[in-house]
Amino acid sequence: MKPFHSNARVACVRGPIDAVSYVHNPVDISVGARVLFVGTTRGSTGGVVTHALEYEAHEAAAVHHLNGLASRALNRWSLSECVIVHRLGRVPVGEASVVVCVSAGHRAEAFAAVEWLMERVKDSVPIWKCEESSDGQRRWIHPEGGRMTPAISQEEWS
């Protein structure tokens, strides 16, 4: 299998994420844009009040797939750096569940990479969320578009 890109940094964590800590001055002077995305627990979805989200993962597989995504984004948009951090366990409303930070030469590549990465984090990494509503009801979210598919071929990698 193709090795992961050396500038990919990914992790699953069980406590609060300090998003800003992932934005630091790049060593690479070709960097002209850094985009930081922070996904947080929303307080309501479709009129239902959410108390918290609880995330579960196959952690080793999730890290493996996050590494694969970061490596593909680094190659596709010639990024200098790509960080993906996903929180697992209970995430109260307003707190960060996922952070993506990329560094690129220009903002167009950086925004495009973050948008693509977030779409893939949602549909191709073995992480699941359970919505806990204010009345204590719990509901696992298994969207129709979330079925994982066999790995892409080596040719499609870069």
Nearest approach, Cβ of residue 78 and another protein (Å): 24
Tell me how far, at minimum, the Cβ of 29 lies from another protein, in Å: 32
Our CB check for another protein shows the closer of 79 and 91 to be 91
* Assigned token pair, 1: 């299998």
In the complex, least distance from residue 132 CB atom to another protein, rounded to whole angstroms: 13
Which parts of this chain interact with another protein (CB under 8 A)? 39, 55-58, 60-62, 64-65, 86, 97-98, 118, 121-130, 140-151
Nearer to another protein, 135 or 144 (CB): 144
Is the Cβ of residue 5 or residue 80 nearer to another protein in the bound state?
Answer: 5
Is-contact 54 127, C-beta < 8 A?
Answer: no
CB burial class (10 A; 0-12, 13-18, 19+) of residue 36? middle
In whole angstroms, the minimum distance from the beta carbon of 144 to another protein comes to: 7
Q: How far is the CB of 54 from another protein (least distance, A)?
A: 10
* Amino acid occupying residue 2: K
Decide whether 5 or 86 has the Cβ nearer to another protein.
86
The residue (of 59 and 112) whose beta carbon lies closer to another protein is: 59
